[in-house]
Amino acid sequence: MKIIVGLGNPEDKYAKTFHNMGWTAVGDVAQKLGVKFKKRECESLCAEANIGGEKVIIARPLTYMNCSGRAVKQLLAKHKAGIGDLIVIYDDFDLPKGHVRIRPSGSAGTHNGMRSVIAETGSSDFVRIRIGIRDPEVNIPIINYVLSNVRPEDYELFIDACGRAADAALALAEGQKTELVMTKFNG
- Between CA 102 and CA 70 the distance in angstroms is 23
Active site annotation includes 99 = no
Q: Are 157 and 97 in contact (CB under 8 A)?
A: yes
Among 115, 184, 145, smallest CA distance to 19 is for: 145
Q: Which of 19, 79, 99, 111 is catalytic?
A: 19
Interatomic CA distance for residues 87 and 169, integer angstroms: 7
The DSSP call for residue 151 is P
Report the half-sphere exposure of 58 (CA within 13 A, side-chain side): 26
Nearest Cα residue to 164 out of 130, 120, 125: 130
Q: Looking at the annotation, which residues are catalytic?
A: 19
